[in-house]
Structure 1
């Protein structure tokens, strides 16, 4: 899977990169620390999956999603947040999956795998 990481914290991006690149077939094609960087990444790279920090600086995630989908409609979106209430917000905006930043690494991998399967099968992950 070609993956874009969008999180304002370099340590979080580095940890996600390390975790995700352990899986065969995963490749981080771009990273972004804010909404501007994400738009630049979306213009220069085609990705299968976006790991999106729900609190990414520069623009509310709810406003980002339509713009993201208009640029790459087939890309799956996995939202990440440390705020418990963000799960309901993200689901209300139809992200494909959600993981809390406090979840164990295996939960992140499971969510990424579910997004990959759903993309291959042409359906939304559960």
Structure 2
């Protein structure tokens, strides 16, 4: 599926929310951007898989709480059954919601508050589509401290990260992009990408969000 950048195809988005006004608001904000295209809408998580297969969006903006199938189960279903799945951005009312944390643990790539300003909404879609930075790391830290269950401790202990990979994971946990990590470590961006890929592989993590959650839950990085 790949990521999109300036001058290339727009980032395509599927909106999933049981409130028509929320979908309309998100659509208006996103379609005002030349590099983002809303390709479809759904009112419940139960409709997500057929639409993802039909429309092949880059990003799904997914409400957490929906009547038939909530965003957590819909996220799990997409990642389990769709080949080359889209990025999933959870849309929520409260950032300290246990549902949000469960959605992130299920494989969502980040989350967006419904009260976010238009510029924040657009930035969130672009950031998640590019996939080389972590969305709202401070909030992930707080959620991990409150809801983390410690199950990642063994996995990270057994991962045998090198010293450089450990340094990269710590910087990922702070929300730094690949370019920012490269600047901190005084290495090339491609080198950072190689280290990030190694970290994800060793942790069995789908993406940066999963790796950072494991880092916090294991105690490798302190939530404070």
- TM bin (shorter chain): 0.7 to 0.9
| Contact map agreement 1:8 1:34 (CA 8 A) in 2 | yes
- The answer to whether residue 44 in structure 2 is matched with residue 34 in structure 1 is yes
Separation (CA, whole Å) in 1 of partners of 2:27 and 2:76: 25
Partner of 1:17: 27
| 1:60, distance to aligned residue in structure 2 (A) | 2.9
Separation (CA, whole Å) in 2 of partners of 1:33 and 1:74: 20
- State the secondary structure of the residue aligned to 2:103: helix
| 1:89, distance to aligned residue in structure 2 (A) | 2.7
| Contact map agreement 2:16 2:44 (CA 8 A) in 1 | yes
Unpaired stretches in structure 1, ≥5 consecutive residues:
none
TM-score (norm 2): 0.50
- State the secondary structure of the residue aligned to 2:131: helix
- State the secondary structure of the residue aligned to 2:84: coil
Q: Which has the higher helix share?
A: 2
Between 2-11 and 54-63, the greater mean CA deviation after superposition: 54-63
- The answer to whether residue 75 in structure 2 is matched with residue 75 in structure 1 is no
Partner of 1:45: 55
TM-score (norm 1): 0.84
Separation (CA, whole Å) in 2 of partners of 1:87 and 1:39: 20
RMSD: 2.3
- State the secondary structure of the residue aligned to 1:5: strand
Separation (CA, whole Å) in 1 of partners of 2:73 and 2:47: 15
- Number of paired residues? 125
| Contact map agreement 1:48 1:75 (CA 8 A) in 2 | yes
Higher relative contact order (CA 8 A, sep 6+): 1
Separation (CA, whole Å) in 2 of partners of 1:90 and 1:106: 24
Match of 1:117 among 101, 105, 130: 130
Alignment deviations for residues 7-52 of structure 1 (CA, whole Å, 9 cap, x no partner): 0111110110010111112111110001233233123211100000
| 1:106, distance to aligned residue in structure 2 (A) | 2.0
| Contact map agreement 1:115 1:125 (CA 8 A) in 2 | no
Between 23-32 and 82-91, the greater mean CA deviation after superposition: 82-91
